[in-house]
Amino acid sequence: MARGWGGIWVIAAVAAVAAAALLTSGQPSAVDWRRLRAVALESDDWGLAGFVPESDAWSGLERETLSPGHFPAVYWNSTLEDSASVARLAAVLAGCRGRDGRPAVLQPNYVMSALEWNGRDWGRRDLPDLPVAYERPGLWRAVAEALAAGVWYPEYHAAWHYDPERRRQAVAAGGPALAAAERGIMLFPGSEAARELGPWRTTAELAAELDAGLAIFRRAFGRPAGAIIAPDYTWDGRCESLWASRGLRVIQAKREQRHPGLPPGAFGRALKVLERQWARVGHPDRVYLERNVRLEPVQAPDPAHVVASALAQTETAWRRGEPAIVETHRVNFAHGEPELAAEGRRALAAYLSGLAAGGGPRPVFVVDAEIAALARRGASAIVAGGRQILRNGSNSRRLVACAPSGNGQPGLVSLWLLDTGFHGVAEAGAGH
Ligand SMILES: [Zn+2]
């Protein structure tokens, strides 16, 4: 009997140690982020034809009757960016340099497609094509200029940002949903809950949608997507497996994940922590990035306070040995009320100049693909603005390979041997 109990205690102790190891183990990094002082700016919702084509879209319509669900009030007049908003934001980014001489770079996470109601039925528009109500003359030229300036490094956010079938069904019922669709308004009854990656959607459907979205991304930006953020932070294990099978192994904001299948309350939160740690241990091929700085000035009454908090959070991230990964949605920089977008740009400029004025070495601005490569191998090579951006954040020489065109075509790979601490740029095609 006593031996039996002893055995149970041993098993319990082993389980406790295993649980503690699981809960505390992080993904190892090949670089010291305290020293690198890296900053990434992750910005969701670019390319999204919504929520409204312009703020006038609501006139004559009782927007509450639409019952889309809950979201911050500023989103009622969230709109698709235009050429001026992109160009002005690009100028703010270009005005701030990291200690490697490179400008601040935004990682706009893009939505690839939009449904368009033509009065009788639905059509689809794929970037850079847009619904008529969302025509933005010169937008793609402004994007091309921002890309060439090295301040714009797109990644993948969503195919539609909602379940398209739910929108079709809602509008088929007529009433305010139809009135909204006729005005180009993307919201519909229950739209907040109609998650693109909802558990009711079949894996085959999600796979087809992802393949189409990734092909549109590659055509629009000339390279494959390398990182993903799920719309509304809602996804499950099926989605991660699909992403990984398509080469998308850098996953943003794992800590924010909303699991459709988990119970509410403390038990659900505990399971979520376990699942996150389990994912890290069980999928060493995936890199999970956590947003540890929040810069959402237009949602707050005091943007200056948001900037001060974001600067403090950045210092905290570096002290903890993490890259600073900033969450800053498009709504801060493109809005139906231009004054709000100006406020967002001012806040970003204040954050960027605050980084430079912080006393320590200036930061370096990076994107997810670089964080993942630096963490894995100590060195990184990406193509941005037609140039190869090469980094060695480790304490030894590192060999990196880079495809100059960035389009994954064979025969174009160059190899670089980088000295310790190297941060530099090579013109694409000049490899050896
Ligand atoms: Zn989003």
Tell me, what's the pLDDT at 3?
A: 47
Task: Report CA(130)–ligand 1 centroid distance (Å).
Answer: 18
Express as a percent the part of the chain with pLDDT over 70: 90
383: burial class by Cβ within 10 Å (0-12, 13-18, 19+)?
buried
Cβ(107)–Cβ(368) below 8 Å? yes
Q: Please say if the pLDDT value at position 359 is more than 50.
A: yes
Report the predicted TM-score, pTM, of the whole model to 2 decimal places: 0.92
Residue 223 pLDDT class (50, 70, 90 cuts): very high
Residue 296 above 70 pLDDT? yes
Q: Cα 255 from chain centroid?
A: 13
The pLDDT of residue 428 is: 63
Higher pLDDT, 213 or 356: 213
Q: Return the pLDDT at 263.
A: 85
3-state secondary structure of 358: coil
Q: How many CA atoms lie within 13 A of 406 on its CB side?
A: 24
pLDDT band at 431 (very low <50, low <70, confident <90, very high): very low
The confidence score (pLDDT) of residue 10 equals: 57
Q: How far is the CA of 231 from the centre of ligand 1 (A)?
A: 5
What's the rounded mean pLDDT across residues 96-123?
A: 96
**How high is the pLDDT of residue 19?**
62
Q: Ligand 1 mean position to 45 CA, how many Å?
A: 5
Residues with CB under 5 A from ligand 1 (ion): 44-45, 231
Q: Give yes or no for residue 409 having a pLDDT over 50.
A: yes
pLDDT single digits (tens) 164-173: 999 999 999 9
Question: Is residue 349 pLDDT above 80, yes or no?
Answer: yes
- What average pLDDT does the chain have? 91
Average pLDDT, stretch 305-331? 98
Tokens of 248: 């998308």
Is residue 255 classed as helix, strand or coil in its secondary structure? helix
Ligand 1 geometric centre to CA of 213 (Å): 15
Q: What DSSP string runs through 164-227?
A: HHHHHHHHHT-HHHHHHHHTT----TTGGG--TT-TTS-HHHHHHHHHHHHHHHHHHHSS---E
The alpha carbon of 377 and the centre of ligand 1 are apart by a number of angstroms equal to: 30
Return the higher-pLDDT residue of 412 and 267. 267
Task: Quote the tokens at residue 56.
Answer: 């006038």
- Rounded to the nearest angstrom, the distance between the alpha carbon of 379 and the centre of ligand 1 is 30
